[in-house]
Homo-oligomer: A and B are copies of this chain.
Amino acid sequence: MKNICFVVAMQAEAQPFIDRYGVTEVPDFFAPLPCKLYQVQLVHTTLNVVLNGQQHGSDLVGCEAASVATMAAIQRLHPDIIINSGTCGAFKSNGAAIGDVFIGNAVMFHDRRVPGDDAWGTQALGNYPVYAGAVKIANDLGFKLGKVTTGSSLDMQPCDLQIIQENHGELKDMEGAAVAFVCSLFSVPVLFIKSVTDLCDSGAETFEEFSRNLAMASQAVSDANAKVIDYLAEG
């Protein structure tokens, strides 16, 4: 692949990755949008890293900001693939541990409750396609596989857990399905690389556990990103 574009929500999630490649920001590339572009030409490929940017003093997170950043990235950069990398919650009952790196093999929403098993219910869940090579990447590079499940909240309410369990969600994040939705509209392949900051079924307080493990998990995802870039750039 000649043109790889990462979409990442938080600066802290991307920083180890940005530092590794020594890339610098292309100022105001997406203006007036707050999204930020970091770009570097590698031997075989152009590497783009797009962050949501900030509003009102904090990094934009969640599904609306992810939709905007993904759409802007596709429109302006025309990537061969969008890679949504970052941190997530997971379930120890599925065998996940803090710091584990997963490749997404599917993606859904868990907090869009619209009645019915019909077209409305199908749309609400999403279940967008992921990059056809995702399973092979995980197997070849030694990563776990899991289904990304996205909601707009850091916590998990009983109604969220019910939908996650019924639909076999494993990697709880706040952007993945929005990124995949926009990619589906533009027919751009999407790949997920997620490392675990917190265990949804550990009994620990999520925000405390997330904050404590953010730097470590971001380093783990940075290492994984580099392996995937090498793999895709040669392919």
Contact = CB atoms under 8 A, between A and B. Distances in A.
Contact of A182 (B68, B109, B152, B154): B68
A152 B152 contact: yes
A195 to B, nearest CB: 20
A152 B55 contact: no
A63 B185 CA distance: 15
Per assembly, the copies of the chain total 2
A112 B177 CA distance: 15
Contacts of A184: 55
A43 interface: no
B68 A153 contact: no
A181 to B, nearest CB: 5
A60 interface: yes
Given A68-B182, A153-B111, A157-B159, A62 B119 contact: no
Contact of A60 (B113, B123, B153, B178): B123
Contact of A68 (B113, B154, B185): B185
Nearest to A155: B113
B55 A185 contact: yes
A203 interface: no
A184 B153 CA distance: 21
Interface residues of A, number: 45
A228 to B, nearest CB: 25
A64 B123 CA distance: 12
A111 B111 contact: yes
A122 B55 CA distance: 10
A152 B185 contact: no
A40 to B, nearest CB: 26
Interface in A193-235: 207
A93 interface: no
A71 interface: yes
